[in-house]
Structure formats: structure tokens, C-alpha cells
Amino acid sequence: MAVLSFREALNQAMTEEMERDDRVFLMGEEVAQYDGAYKVSQGMLKHFGARRVIDTPISEEGFAGIGIGAAMVGLRPIIEFMTFSFSLVAIDQIVNNAANMRYMSGGQFSVPIVFRGSSGMAGSLAATHSHRLEAWYAQIPGLMVLMPATPADAKGLLKAAIRCDDPVVFIEHEVLYPDRGEVPEGEHLVPIGKAEIKRPGNDVTLITYSRSLKVTMAAAEKLAEEGVDAEVIDLRSIRPLDMDTLINSIVKTHRAVIVEEDWPYCGLGAGISDRITRTIFDELDAPILRVASKDAPIPYNKAMEQSMLPSVQRVVEAVNGVVYREV
């Protein structure tokens, strides 16, 4: 199997899907002549030409809407946001138009579109360029929200997203782009709505996704050295959520910690925790704890920024809490 970077895996997914289906095109700021702000679309203009790899003005709301309109009449756009922080400019289009269209038309018009791009804290970008908005989008019926953590999943999930007949919000963590890993060649699809157990264990279930998987895996290794056997689940699909995998795991471990990079209040973990509690309260031997970012805008200062994030230390502390372990 080829070893690719996360960004190369995304590039391969788009390239394969565009080769397969002429209805698929890529549109966004600097995706073509500049080869992508984060080089995810490197070489695609040369390969596909300006008809299908399209540079836009800095007009997020406008080109998001253009993508939705094109999808309503049969194309399958991939809309790149340079960062998901900028998707806030386009959120009217994503929520009011893409998510609602099928419902409000009584099923007559669907919107097969992918909104993708980078997100997350990546090194002193300060508040406007570091947002994690998965909880915002995950709340909206009509949207799929996907967040891969590995190069293989990046490829498989993006291919599935492009083939999905519904609008997909596909959020890539900026610090994952250079990560390398084995990526299956050709027809590799990861189904939407399926979580994956990345590390089996018996003592506690760690639920996470995207960049936080790395932190969580590192915490699990540290815990193993200390005699705590953690099971790590990578959600991959934020909506729909794979509740079956979560429940099966917690029925085994009876304890859970959710590790998320978004804000704590009304964050993704709050919704997941609520669902688990209502579904299998009797199976829980401890309250579900959450390790999220701190409840503040993202600071520029490096040390302050790092203190915001879920860390190995904070994950270990939370696990100690749910297994009632005194250190």
C-alpha cells in the first residue's frame, strides 16, 4: 500500500472522483492557479483544466450558493473553504439553502455537494482562523458532517462524501495535512456513519475524532503503561453518529471520556454524552467526562493556545476520574 500524506490522500480522492464523474468539479479560493492554499488541490488544474478546477473571488457566501444552485440541477460540486472559520460567511447558504432544500421542496430537489477545508488550531493563527465549528453544523438536520483523522480515512471518507447525494460538511484539521500513512489505492470507500475502534480495550471508552485522535491514542498508550486498558473510538462521522459502536463499547467498559477540540458549552460531546446517558444509564459506572478546548476565543500566544487544547495530561486526568484512580 502506498504511504501518502493526509493532503495527498485528499487530493487522490478528488482526482479519482473527478476522473470517474464529469459532474464533479472543485471550486474555491486559490484552488487552481495557486494549487490550493494548503496544497490539497496541487496539480489538479493542470490535470483537469479551468472548466473543472475553478478559482473564485473572495466571496464565500456567493460561491457556496453557486455550488448549491449547481447541485440542485445535477452537478456535484466540491466547495473548498480556505479555512472553516470563513465558512461562517457562507453559513446562510449552508444551513438555509443546502440543508433545507430537500425538505422544503418536499423531496424534489436534493443538494449533492461537499463543503470542505481546513480547520482547527494550528499554530498562533489567533481567534479568526482557528475555529472548530463541527457542533454548529452537526446540529442541522439535512447535513452530513465528516472529520477524518488518518490519511486512509481522509481518502475513503472524501470519496464517499463526493458520491453522497446529500450535502456534506467535510472538516480537515490543518495540522493533519502533513501526516503520513498507508492509503489503499483506487476504490477505497469509508462508509458515512461508521465509527472505528482504533485501539481495543476493556477499562474505559475514549471517544474522539480528527486531530484529537492523536492526543487520545498517546494518552491510551500512557494509560496502558499505568495499567489502564483504554478502548479508543474514532467517530469519523460526526453526523450521522455511530451510536451502536459507542454503546457496544461502553457496555463492555462501563466508562467513557469524550475528547473533542471544540468548545465545551453545547459542544459535540455534550450531545453525545446526553445520548449515551439516556440510552444506557444503567451500564455506566461513572459520569461521562469531557475533555474539550477551554471556553475562550483562541489566543495568539503560543503557550496560551496550547493550554486551550485537549492534551495527553488532561485526557489521563479525566480517565483517572472515571475509573476512580488516585494518582
Partner 1 sequence: MAQTQTEAKPIVNRTQAQVWLRQMLLIRRFEERAEMLYQKGNKIGGFFHQYSGQEPVAVGSIGVLREDDYVITAYRDHGHALARGMSARAGMAELLGKVTGCSRGKGGSMHFFDAEKGFLGGHAIVGSHIALAAGVAFAMKYRGEDRVCICYFGDGAINQGSVHEAMNMAALWKLPVIYVVENNMYAMGTSLERSSAVVDLRLRGATAYGIPGFTINGNDIELMAKTTREAAARARAGEGPTFIEAQTYRYKGHSISDPGKYRHRDELDNAVKNDPIVVYENILKQRGWIDDAAIEKMRQDVKAEVEEAIEFAEQSEQPPLSDLYEDITVAPFIPQE
Residues that bind partner 1 (CB under 8 A): 25, 51, 56-57, 59, 61-75, 92-93, 96-97, 101-110, 112, 138, 141-142, 144, 164-166, 192-193, 239-241, 271, 275
Residues contacting residue 75 through CB under 8 Å, at least 6 positions apart: 23, 24, 25
Min dist CB 325 to partner 1, Å, is: 32
Rg (CA), the chain: 20
Instruction: Give the DSSP H or E segment for 308.
Output: helix 302-308
Identity at 56, one-letter amino acid code: T
Give whichever of 65 and 120 is closer to partner 1, judged by the CB atom. 65
| Residue whose entry in the numeric block shows the C-alpha cell 477551554 | 294
> Any idea how long the chain is?
327
Give whichever of 243 and 286 is closer to partner 1, judged by the CB atom. 243
289-291 and 256-259 beta bridge pairing: parallel
Min dist CB 95 to partner 1, Å, is: 10
* 154 vs 120: CA distance, rounded Å: 16
| Bridge partner residues of 55 (DSSP) | 28
Residues contacting residue 69 through CB under 8 Å, at least 6 positions apart: none
Min dist CB 105 to partner 1, Å, is: 4
Min dist CB 141 to partner 1, Å, is: 5
> Is 47 a residue of the active site?
no
Give whichever of 33 and 108 is closer to partner 1, judged by the CB atom. 108
Q: How far apart are the first and last CA of the chain?
A: 42
Instruction: Give the DSSP H or E segment for 291.
Output: strand 289-291
* 35 vs 17: CA distance, rounded Å: 18
Min dist CB 90 to partner 1, Å, is: 9
Give whichever of 108 and 303 is closer to partner 1, judged by the CB atom. 108
76-83 and 24-28 beta bridge pairing: parallel
> Is 188 a residue of the active site?
no
In this structure, are residues 4 and 148 in contact, taking their beta carbons and an 8 Å threshold?
no
Min dist CB 168 to partner 1, Å, is: 10
Q: Which of 312, 308, 251, 313 is nearest to 285 (CA)?
A: 251
From the candidates 29, 129, 134, 188, which is the catalytic residue? 129
Q: Which of 311, 149, 307, 291 is nearest to 215 (CA)?
A: 311
From the candidates 60, 134, 231, 261, which is the catalytic residue? 60
Instruction: Give the DSSP H or E segment for 290.
Output: strand 289-291
Would you name the residues annotated as active-site residues?
A: 60, 129
